[in-house]
Amino acid sequence: MSKIFEIIDTEAIEQLADILNKKDLGEISIEYEGKIVSVKSKKPLPPAPAGIPPIGVVPQMPAVSPAVSQSITNPIDSPVPETISGVAVKAPIVGTYYSKPRPDASPFVTIGSKVKKGDVLYILETMKVMNEICAESDGIVSKILVNDGDALEFGQTVMIIS
C-alpha cells in the first residue's frame, strides 16, 4: 500500500470528491494537522456570462430623445388621450426615480421650470448608485409623467421639455 494512504484517509478524499461534484466546484482543498488535500474536477469550468457590464457602469446613451409629438394616455385621469409635443426625456437605465437630491430638499425641476442643457432634471438610483440625469437641451418642463419613488424601465418617458 502506498504511504499516502497511510497518512490520509481515503474516505475523506471520497467525501471531498462528492462535495466537489454535488456543488459543481472546480477545486476543493482542506487542511488538517498541517496536511493539505486538494481535489480538482476534470470538468471544464463554465464560461463567464458575456454581455453583462461591470457593476457601477452606466450604458452611455442620451437621456433625451429627439423632439417628438407623442400621445400619452392615463386611464385614471382622462379617458381621452392628450397630445404632448416637445422633447421626451427618457430613462437611460432601469432604476428608481427621485425628483430631489434629499427628502427635505426642493425638486430639481417642476412643471414650468426653465432648464438649460446640462441642468440636473432628476436622480435615477440603480444598484445603490445615484445617477444624475441632465437636460440635453434648453427648454421648459411641460409635463412630468412619473412620481417620486417610481420604478422606471429602460427607455420610459419621464418628462417632456418644450
pLDDT digits (tens, 9 = 90+) for 27-52: 777 776 767 777 777 666 555 555 55
Backbone angles phi and psi of 80, in degrees to 5: -95, 125
Beta strands (DSSP E) in the chain are: 27-32, 35-40, 64-74, 78-90, 95-98, 114-115, 120-126, 129-134, 139-144, 151-152, 157-161
Q: In this predicted structure, what is the pLDDT of residue 77?
A: 47
Q: In this predicted structure, what is the pLDDT of residue 29?
A: 74
The predicted model scores a pTM of: 0.50
Residues of the chain with pLDDT under 50: 1, 69-70, 72-81
> From CA 152, how far away is CA 112, in angstroms rounded?
22
What is the CB-side half-sphere exposure of residue 11 using CA atoms within 13 A? 0
Other beta carbons less than 10 A from residue 87's beta carbon: 20
Q: In this predicted structure, what is the pLDDT of residue 7?
A: 59
Which of 138, 52, 24 is closest to 87 using CA atoms?
A: 138
Which of 160, 141, 135 is closest to 67 using CA atoms?
A: 160
Domains and CATH numbers, the chain: 3-40 (no CATH), 64-161 (2.40.50.100)
